[in-house]
């Protein structure tokens, strides 16, 4: 029985996405979208199953090994959907869990036809026969590369040229990922809830923190809050870095005690109905910023505000990045961390020594979501429905040639936003980021 939160997405939504995908493909095309497989973790044990994001986007079906076929051939009166699923198997289900099964699949998933995945090879050659284009994501799934190659070769080598192999193999990703890049209202609703749960988890970690606590204690607080709010999984491994560990961008060891006087950087977000949140906050483990920490922190926060101002329809992420970089560079010169004049520093990109990643990324079913950022060398303009992170940072390792009070400090402030008609909306505003608000919460 499922006691988890109910997704606002319905079979109708998935059906509409499938239909939209087919309408963007050339006539007489077959799309092939495989589900993910289980991945071995150690003997007789697998990693927690995570569905392939493309397959999930088009079906909402969470079983491994399935395959979705979609056709817009006239042979099927315009549009056809077919799913191959694991058959029911009393023995396998006792060991590994329930399966939807072939009999229930078409009705439950709202597709036209369902078959056992064990019969895939047998059916696929006949289905491929006569389609002019095959759309799939080659090299993304070795199992699919194999069964698609088998079907194409079977058509080519059919006796007496009795089957017509496809004329063209097309990449499904530009179309499908273009669709995923623009979120509908229901997706935004889920992303907003994922962001709220994640914000509550960050607040809980801030309230829990104490000088000397271990990074993994904060990680546990975060994960517990996700789970009790209905988000069973993290969207990615939480990063909890005290002191200089915050300068390791993808630090996930999370096993060190955080000393009195140190900052801690937490980058954590839950996954809800497949959609990710991605929040970073940096705060003093003892609840009080030092003057040097305040100076650097305020600089990152001001750079984030400057970037946010630029993030609206028609503008680009690059414009947000330039705004953030200008504020950071000015501030670093003022603090004596960079020397010389602003324009020279901007020209020489000296800030890259301390802010070495981009401003943010698309956010959706994948935490680093699909969708292009540039086309023909030009940055793509933002449009309503795009969801992204805004995450400037400053990372000053102890080896840096700077005044001692700035050494060993890593700061990132990351929020999630949706681009709206009039600008943007911050989805993660519930978790404080102003110095006085963080200190008040932790006092």
Q: Are 123 and 151 in contact (CB under 8 A)?
A: no
For residues 78 and 425, give the distance between their C-alpha atoms in angstroms, rounded to a whole number.
39
Is residue 412 annotated as part of the catalytic site, yes or no? yes
| Catalytic option among 17, 177, 273, 412 | 412
Nearest distance, CB of residue 367 and Mn ion, angstroms: 7
Nearest distance, CB of residue 266 and Mn ion, angstroms: 9
| Catalytic option among 196, 219, 262, 391 | 391
Nearest distance, CB of residue 411 and Mn ion, angstroms: 13
Nearer residue to ligand GLY within complex by CB, 244 or 369 = 369
Q: Which stretch binds Mn ion (CB under 5 A): 291-299, 318-326, 388-396, 429-437?
A: 388-396
Is residue 414 annotated as part of the catalytic site, yes or no? yes
Nearer residue to ligand GLY within complex by CB, 187 or 278 = 278
Nearer residue to ligand GLY within complex by CB, 293 or 389 = 389
Which phi and psi angles does 429 have, rounded to 5°? Answer: -75, -10
Nearest distance, CB of residue 361 and ligand GLY, angstroms: 6
Q: Are 214 and 242 in contact (CB under 8 A)?
A: no
Cβ-proximal residues to 27 (8 Å cutoff; 6+ apart), any chain: 72, 74, 132
| Catalytic option among 20, 357, 373, 437 | 357
State the residue number with the nearest CB to ligand GLY: 267
- Helix pair angle (317-334, 291-310), 10° resolution: 150
| Catalytic option among 17, 99, 361, 424 | 361
| Catalytic option among 330, 395, 415, 416 | 395
Q: Per DSSP, what are the bridge partners of residue 29?
A: 133
Nearer residue to Mn ion within complex by CB, 143 or 233 = 233
Is residue 47 annotated as part of the catalytic site, yes or no? no
Cβ-proximal residues to 147 (8 Å cutoff; 6+ apart), any chain: 67, 120, 121, 124
Q: Is there binding between residue 267 and Mn ion (CB under 5 A)?
A: yes
Is residue 76 annotated as part of the catalytic site, yes or no? no
* Range 145-174, binding Mn ion (CB under 5 A): none
Q: Are 402 and 337 in contact (CB under 8 A)?
A: yes
Nearer residue to Mn ion within complex by CB, 198 or 319 = 198
Residue 173 has what DSSP assignment? H
Site string for Mn ion, 202-231 (x = CB under 5 A): ------------------------------
Q: Are 241 and 264 in contact (CB under 8 A)?
A: yes
Q: Is there binding between residue 198 and Mn ion (CB under 5 A)?
A: no
DSSP result, 112-151: SEEEEGGGHHHHHHHHHTT-SEEEE-TTS-HHHHHHHHHH
Nearer residue to ligand GLY within complex by CB, 80 or 240 = 240
Name which of ligand GLY, Mn ion, none residue 234 binds, using a CB cut-off of 5 to 8 Å depending on partner kind.
Answer: none
Pairing of strands 45-46, 279-284: unpaired
Nearer residue to ligand GLY within complex by CB, 99 or 433 = 433
Q: Are 389 and 419 in contact (CB under 8 A)?
A: no
| Catalytic option among 52, 196, 225, 278 | 278
- Helix pair angle (435-442, 291-310), 10° resolution: 120
Q: Is there binding between residue 234 and ligand GLY (CB under 6 A)?
A: no
Name which of ligand GLY, Mn ion, none residue 236 binds, using a CB cut-off of 5 to 8 Å depending on partner kind.
Answer: ligand GLY
Residue 59 has what DSSP assignment? H
Q: Is there binding between residue 391 and ligand GLY (CB under 6 A)?
A: yes
The residue written with tokens 């051939």 in the block is: 73
Q: How many residues bind ligand GLY (CB under 6 A)?
A: 7
Q: Is there binding between residue 267 and ligand GLY (CB under 6 A)?
A: yes
Cβ-proximal residues to 280 (8 Å cutoff; 6+ apart), any chain: 239, 265, 266, 267, 268, 391, 393, 412, 413, 414
* Residues at the site binding ligand GLY, with contacts judged by CB under 6 A: 236, 267, 278, 361, 367, 391, 414
Catalytic residues: 44, 250, 267, 278, 357, 361, 368, 391, 395, 412, 414
């Amino acid at each position: 029985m499922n006691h988890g939160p109910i997704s606002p997405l319905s079979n109708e939504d998935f059906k509409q996405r499938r239909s939209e995908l087919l309408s963007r493909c050339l006539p007489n095309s077959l799309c092939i979208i495989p589900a993910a497989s289980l991945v071995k973790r150690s003997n007789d044990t697998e990693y927690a199953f995570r569905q392939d994001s493309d397959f999930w986007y088009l079906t909402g079906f969470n079983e491994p090994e399935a395959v979705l076929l979609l056709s817009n051939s006239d042979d099927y009166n315009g549009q056809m959907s077919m799913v191959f699923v694991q058959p029911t198997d009393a023995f396998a289900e006792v060991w590994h869990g329930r399966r939807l099964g072939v009999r229930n699949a078409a009705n439950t998933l709202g597709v036209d036809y369902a078959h056992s995945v064990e019969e895939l090879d047998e059916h696929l050659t006949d289905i491929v026969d006569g389609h002019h284009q095959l759309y799939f994501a080659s090299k993304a799934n070795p199992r699919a590369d194999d069964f698609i190659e088998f079907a194409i070769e079977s058509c080519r080598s059919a006796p007496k040229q009795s089957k017509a192999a496809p004329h063209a193999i097309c990449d499904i990703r530009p179309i499908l990922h273009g669709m995923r890049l623009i979120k509908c209202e229901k997706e935004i609703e889920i992303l907003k809830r994922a962001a709220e749960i994640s914000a509550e988890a960050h607040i809980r970690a801030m309230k829990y923190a104490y000088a000397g606590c271990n990074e993994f204690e904060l990680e546990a607080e975060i994960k517990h809050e996700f789970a009790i709010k209905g988000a069973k999984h993290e969207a990615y491994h939480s990063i909890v870095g005290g002191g200089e560990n915050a300068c390791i961008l993808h630090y996930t060891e999370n096993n060190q005690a955080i000393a009195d006087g140190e900052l801690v950087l937490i980058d954590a977000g839950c996954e809800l109905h497949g959609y990710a949140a991605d929040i970073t906050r940096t705060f003093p483990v003892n609840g009080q910023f030092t003057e040097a920490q305040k100076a650097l922190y305020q600089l990152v926060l001001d750079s984030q505000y400057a970037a946010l101002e630029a993030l609206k329809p028609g503008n680009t992420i690059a414009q947000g990045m330039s705004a953030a970089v200008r504020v950071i560079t000015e501030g670093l010169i003022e603090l004596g961390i960079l020397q010389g004049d602003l324009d020279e520093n901007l020209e020489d990109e000296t800030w890259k020594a301390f802010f070495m990643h981009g401003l943010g990324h698309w956010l959706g079913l994948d935490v680093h979501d699909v969708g292009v950022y540039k086309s023909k060398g030009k940055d793509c303009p933002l449009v309503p429905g795009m969801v992204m992170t805004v995450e400037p940072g400053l990372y000053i390792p102890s080896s840096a040639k700077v005044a001692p009070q700035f050494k060993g400090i890593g700061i990132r402030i990351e929020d999630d936003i949706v681009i709206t008609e009039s600008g943007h909306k911050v989805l993660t505003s519930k978790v404080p980021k102003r110095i006085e608000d963080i200190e008040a919460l932790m006092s």
